[in-house]
Amino acid sequence: MATKHKGHTIGIDLGTTYSCLAAWEEQNGRAEIIVNDQGNRTTPSFVAFTDTQRLIGDAAKNQAAANPSNTIFEAYLESSVDNAVITVPAYFNDSQRKPTKDAGIIAGLNVIRIINEPTAASLAYGLRKRDKFKATSRDTHLGGEDFNNRMVSHLVQEFKRARFEELNRDLFEKCMEIAQKCLDDAKIHDVVLVGGSSRIPKVQSLLQNFFEGKDLCKSINPDEAVAYGAAIQAALLSESYSIVANMVLVDVTPMSLGIATHGDLMSVVIPRNTAIPVNMGSVFVTIEDYQSAATFPVYEGERSKASENNEYECS
């Protein structure tokens, strides 16, 4: 049973481009997005400094081109609550998650859980008891910025705009490759759209055709779904809320975990998309007679050579 934490909690979608915050509203029985000081439901992940002031969010982003050396593309948070659940991209490895976990306190908040963005989005659409998040697939370099950069590169060469779908055909194909990987790992029940790029009509039509006409889950703003799910998880971990008990988060390992064996081979012990927490093991033997000791560095990743994966820091 998960440890309950005292004090109010929030969910944070700490995005590289935009960030979004949400909190569980006991009276309404649902998560609500927290607006920023300008009334916007998402905030650009920008901080900037000038000779006289510090700028955050929209104000920082608007002056980035004129003040690039003093503009930081990071999220900034000021809040009076006690605890937070923070989401990270599914492709983040252990070393990328570690600094956040080790810091413990971010902007005065106690980080009580780090969960994957796809898991949080699924939770936002109401995972039920006995249901679990079964699989995740990802591309570390495919998102809204890719479509933006493609258009900018094209417009530099031509001063008129070509057909958007033709220009981005290969990016759409990469989206379908990711969907195929996820389908290979687990049977799909629902298709949840998350992120601004999921609004592109061509992306939606390709996904709907790929999943044989299945309706896409679009009832929650795709920019807010991750923060919404993080807020639900935050409420489940807090003593301050009496959130319904029939909701549970069962996450999966986004990458395979294994050890390096003779010849720098990656021997997988826990395959990716295994429900966690989990206790699994394998039997290994020494490579020399009378060997009395051996080291077992743990790696995460899908490469066949262990050294090409990320070395996992065991605690």
CATH fit for domain 9-127+222-249, picks 3.30.465.10, 3.40.50.1860, 3.50.50.60, 3.30.420.40? 3.30.420.40
> What is the spatial distance between Cα 170 and Cα 176, in angstroms, rounded to a whole number?
10
Choose between 99 and 184: higher pLDDT. Answer: 184
- For residue 276, how far is the Cα from the chain centroid? 16
Q: What's residue 279's pLDDT?
A: 92
Which DSSP helix (H) or strand (E) runs through 298? strand 298-300
Please list, in sequence order, all residues whose beta carbon lies within 8 angstroms of the beta carbon of residue 156, skipping any fewer than 6 positions away. none
- Sequence ranges of the chain with CATH classification 3.30.420.40: 9-127+222-249
Please list, in sequence order, all residues whose beta carbon lies within 8 angstroms of the beta carbon of residue 276, skipping any fewer than 6 positions away. 250, 251, 252, 253
Choose between 245 and 181: higher pLDDT. Answer: 181
Give 41's DSSP letter. S
Choose between 20 and 74: higher pLDDT. Answer: 20
CATH number of 144-217: 3.30.420
pLDDT tens column, 171-218:
899 888 888 887 887 777 788 888 878 888 888 999 899 888 888 888
User: Is the pTM here over 0.85, yes or no?
Assistant: no
- For residue 249, how far is the Cα from the chain centroid? 15
